[in-house]
Structures are given as C-alpha cells and as structure tokens.
Amino acid sequence: MPVMAIPPAVVSAARAGWRWQWLQLMQGLGPADRDGNYRRPASAFNALPPLPANAAETGSHVLIVGRSCPWAHRAWLVWALRQLQPSITLLIVEPDPQAGRWRFRTPFLGCNTLQELYRRSGANASQRATVPVLVEAGSGRVVLGESARLIELLNQWPAAAPASDLAPEALIHEITHWRELLQRAVNDGVYRCGFARNQAAYDRAESELFAALDQVESALASSGAGPWLCGESLTLADVQLFPTLIRLELVYAPLFGVSRRPLWQLPALWQWRQRFHALPGVADTCCDQAWREDYFGTLFPLHPSGIVPAGPALATLVQAPPPP
C-alpha cells in the first residue's frame, strides 16, 4: 500500500501548534526576556551570611548537590578541594522529571523533596528550590542557596587539613574579572544558547561564548602564563570554569548547539582542563553518565524523544591528547 504524503496544511498546522507548546514548556524550563534571551532566575537564600559559629564542628552542616547541575558542581569542587568532609556532609539529590523538582533518595529531616526543605526555611511557594544549598544539620535551616556566594563561603570555611585559599587577597581583582566574564558568557552562556527562543538570541549568546573562550585561551597561552587562570594559584575562577568545560562535548555541544569549535582547537584550554581534572578529588565529582541521563532524558522541550545518546568515557576524553 503506498504511503500517502502528509498534506502541507497539516504540516504547517502541526508546526505552529508544536511551536506554541514549545514556547509554553520553555517558559517553565527557563524564562526569557521579550527578545528571546534566556534569563536565569534569581536563587532563593542568596545573601552571603557570616561564617556560622559552629562551622568547624564535626557534621555541623550538609551540602546538598545534584550530580548534573553545573552550579552545584562548583560548590562540590570547593568542598572536595578544601577537604571539608569532617564538618560538611555531602548529600546528593536526584531529579524528578515528572514533577520537575529535586527529590531526596531517602527522607531528609522529614522532607521528601528539596522544595519541602525550602518551604520549611521560609521560601514561598513560587520560589524554585535549586542546588547547591548549604543546610545547618541540626535545625535543617537553609544557610545559603546561591552558588556564586556559596563557593565564597566554602572558601572561608575552616578546614581540618591545610587547605588552599582559592581567593587570595592579592588576586581578588583578577579573580573577580574572570568570574564576572565567565558567569555571563560561559556558565550562563551555554544555557543562553540552549534556551534561546529565536535565532537572534542564540547568535548573540553563541558569539559571546566563543569570544570569551578565545579570551581565556589567549590568557593561558601567553608567555609565562598559567598553569591557572590567575597564574600560579588555583582560584575560584578556575573552579567556576571547570563545570562548564567538562560537560562541553558530552552535553552542551550536542544538546545546546555550542559546537562551532571543539575544545581541542583551543589547546591551552584543553590542557588546563586536563590539569584541573587530575587534581585530587575532582574526578569523583564528575558523573558523566548521570549528566547524559539527566540532560537528554529530562529536558523534554529540547530533546522530546528522551533517548540518551552514547558517548565516550569521560576519563578517555579528558586524558586524550588533542589531535595534531
């Protein structure tokens, strides 16, 4: 029996209907301004508090992260690099794609979801419950839920063993420069590409992303530079860049359309990523299979099939030399 062609009018109506539905779904996934540019919503509990008086006490706080979230990843990295395990317990939450929220594997302080924990600490019902979040273990009170401020607090946290200062006073100006550039153009930049509502919004974000990566590449490749963004010292600027670059080939290039230049064409950045990944404790924070499952399996508006693609093992990808 011959296959009948779908009438053009039906195709046109289906495209219009799907686009309308897509825009509604995208508004829930990532809000945009009137020009179609993605705007990351502000986090709840985003004010930097003083260092808690009980910070040094064993098990005094809990750091809640999601494996796929790059903003949670930066906090996880500081926790690992500064060896804060004695006073801060790490707790991993799982995404619930059906409900669109984070859930605990087992109830935590009587809460089944992160949203419940946020509500207990005074967040209103309209505020998103996001990771990372630092919680006081005894009371369950949310201390801080904004990643940029949280890594600053964790850098001040008393460590059991000698730990590096990731924001030394002499480098603050340079660290701030890089962090501000990376936050907009790179960390948010990949999402501004993937969540753009139109071609012009995507083009703006994509151009800004690769211009920033070229700027980082030039800085790392310049004579006498490195091995880190601010010279000899590993800083919060490096911490902020790593979660985006480590996901680039596996998630962001195929799903968000940021594939103009593969990372191996930026050799100084490629080598920088290898150095960072080799730092003690860093590889344990990288969960490549969870990244693929959570991004491709749950971001329905961007990947309606839910098919999780295969990919290279992360260690193989990171450790490989760039092509000649």
Distance, CA of 215 to CA of 137 (rounded, Å): 42
Say if residues 69 and 146 touch (Cβ distance below 8 Å). no
269: pLDDT strictly greater than 60: yes
128: pLDDT strictly greater than 90: no
Task: List the chain domain ranges.
Answer: 61-156, 169-319
Distance, CA of 46 to CA of 82 (rounded, Å): 22
93: pLDDT strictly greater than 60: yes
Domain 169-319, CATH class in plain words: mainly alpha
Q: What is the mean pLDDT of residues 240-246?
A: 98
Q: Is 141 left (phi over 0), alpha (psi -120 to 50) or beta?
A: beta
Using alpha carbons only, give the angle 101, 115, 34 rounded to the nearest 5 degrees: 65
Alpha helices in the chain (DSSP H): 8-29, 70-81, 114-120, 147-156, 172-182, 188-194, 199-221, 236-246, 253-256, 267-277, 288-298, 314-319
Two tokens at 7? 């009438």
Two tokens at 167? 């924001």
60: pLDDT strictly greater than 60: yes
Q: Classify domain 61-156 at the CATH superfamily level.
A: Glutaredoxin (3.40.30.10)
